[in-house]
Structure 1
């Protein structure tokens, strides 16, 4: 029942922005990861742990690469998989011209299963082992997604979209029907195996005050579920919210008045936030999913990471497929670094990999369950390949420390650099 993996090994214990760097992570140049029944039992130096093992125990040895926890994607739309890279629009026009027509197809359960199968296969190939996922307004889209995720034994979070205004009739529900269908899906799927549910208002412009209040009621009745929506992504969107909700003190206040902030509330983007909004996010323990690929693709703006950190906001990464243009978290780290460069700010590679692993777990209130190799955590992990391409193999020859290796992986790494992906200690991708 014991599985043992040996190799260069890294995981995080704390946020490098909040503690001295050397206290934020554990790195073993030659480490062992011990797993029993899909759960982490121990991690440490190979020299210390190998003598404690029975001679019959098989050790899987990765000799050129880095073992680390699987990536966590805290904002992604599985129904948008087949419309990725749709040309030439900013957010609101992009939704109308591309997104809504594609989402119409997800009233078909079998179509949803087909896309979910492809989507989850792509995530795993990119080293992502947990994601917070948008469905569509159709309950069938969530049933289809969870059916496939359950078969793959994944820890996934998903929810039915709520939209009752400013959207096509074929994608519209009502405040009451959205409540009723979401409640039924929570009862059916939440905490079933490794699956969890997210109440999912698309964003304030497509939700009436009544619908947002019903979402808040549902959240209050089911405090262990998530709240997942969009916030302050685009300047035109923000202006629209101000027109629709003139009585509110800004975009975040629309959600706050409906009691949608909290420890399991994740707001995608947050590109254009005032200090008072960040303060409120921090004090309510809400999280922001930083989506650099989609922010650049749609021309939405450059996320202010330092502002969020100043107010102790939980921050994590989202690929935001299909406005985001990659499933790869490594490529997402590349985009994140460049957005901060454009702000004349630095993004340290340790900070970036923290946000992709333990930071994601904290944003999802799942620290101790996923995100690092703490004892008792679920053993979802990946092996990054230092020799995946001739370029990275040659570049790695000049590295003198793990920080340089992480930075190179985040700048020129992609799906090809995921050597293996493991779910609960079982290999599902790679060698």
Structure 2
């Protein structure tokens, strides 16, 4: 998916879910490692391990001495064999080779070679045993050192600290998955339609390429029979025997697609922007929402909106001071009409709500104002500069706020 794809916000959410999943898995592995370390520490018996180290050290010393003796013995045997070989005569000197003394020397040489071979086997076996003992000794000394350096309090503190973090990441991950599913469900019809249009565009371009080849074949045909066969092939493939007609038809369809696809992409971007928006607090221009066109409808519109919003986010309604006279009610009456879950404010006498709306929205990017005023004179306020003013329409007995995904009857 390229950077300009209208579905790029969905990919960002999928990437975040992947990161959270990896963080959750990594923290769980750390948690298991900490638990294992703590259990091992508590189960470890230093006295037993120290006794084992003593036994291993004793075995190491004994094997080292034995090996040293074996090496001396082997060296003696090799030296005796060397002397023996020097005393043996050359087999070509026949009159000496078969004497009793030479036979004795050859027998002794065979015996010495066997003893040297046996000595090598003993040395190899004992060296392997010594290597194993030293490895076990090193491991035991390492366990003692690790046990002495291990801080049980620190490990238990880390384990206690990581548990709420794992719960928080798990909660964030579940929320992110749920939010992605909600957005994908809303956007799926549009993305499927975009896939269909793009597939059609690819098909039509392919048709043009094939029809163009047939058109070139027609130009190159040497006789009427070859041209007839090409027209027949075109008819079978496209339902029209004229490659030029196919090309012109597909170009017209491509023009329509190239006109419609950007519109659909804009629709998808607008939908994703709306669905991707985080709103924690909605500040409503109360007086603005009391009119259907030029007709004053009182609190019917706001009441319908509040019911539709439910508890999606915190709601504050701000009225101009003139609302009291228009509704023939006081502040308490207006507050009661809108219910205890809505923060209701009426501006001081002879003042308008506009600037209060700006100030209530502040610089918190999750606080939005619902109003049809342009607030041109308040261009310096962050809520206007950051485009956090949402629009609505009251018409035909309905309160419609597209950016809040609301359409409700009054």
TM-score by length of 1: 0.25
User: Who wins on radius of gyration, i.e. which is larger?
Assistant: 2
Higher strand share goes to which structure?
1
Q: Pick 1 or 2: higher relative contact order, CA cutoff 8 A, min separation 6.
A: 1
Larger helix percent:
2
